[in-house]
Amino acid sequence: MLQLPPSFFAQHQEMPMYTPKIREDLIPRLYRAAKARKVPMTKLVTALVETALAQVEHELGDLNHPLIADDQPRQRRKHG
């Protein structure tokens, strides 16, 4: 029988991933938009996030952009 060293399992164990929650008030809007486009909500959300991230990444090149220039401390939220 093949025996694998403990390091194999340590290297191949998946880390739990944070799963953000979509605000409840956005769900009906996403549902209607996905239905109108005849695509699953997951595909619509993925496309929207990709588009928004590309825009944010582009804007982050501008050091005066509010996401960079904002000097207010961020509050950490507890998850769990």
- Give the Cα separation of 45 and 26 in Å (integer): 11
- Beta-strand runs (E) in 1-80: none
- As a whole number, mean pLDDT of residues 46-51 equals 93
Neighbours of 33 (CB within 10 A): 15
- As a whole number, mean pLDDT of residues 31-58 equals 93
- Give the Cα separation of 20 and 79 in Å (integer): 10
Tell me the whole-structure pTM to 2 decimals: 0.55
- Give the Cα separation of 34 and 25 in Å (integer): 15
Q: Report whether pLDDT(1) > 70.
A: no
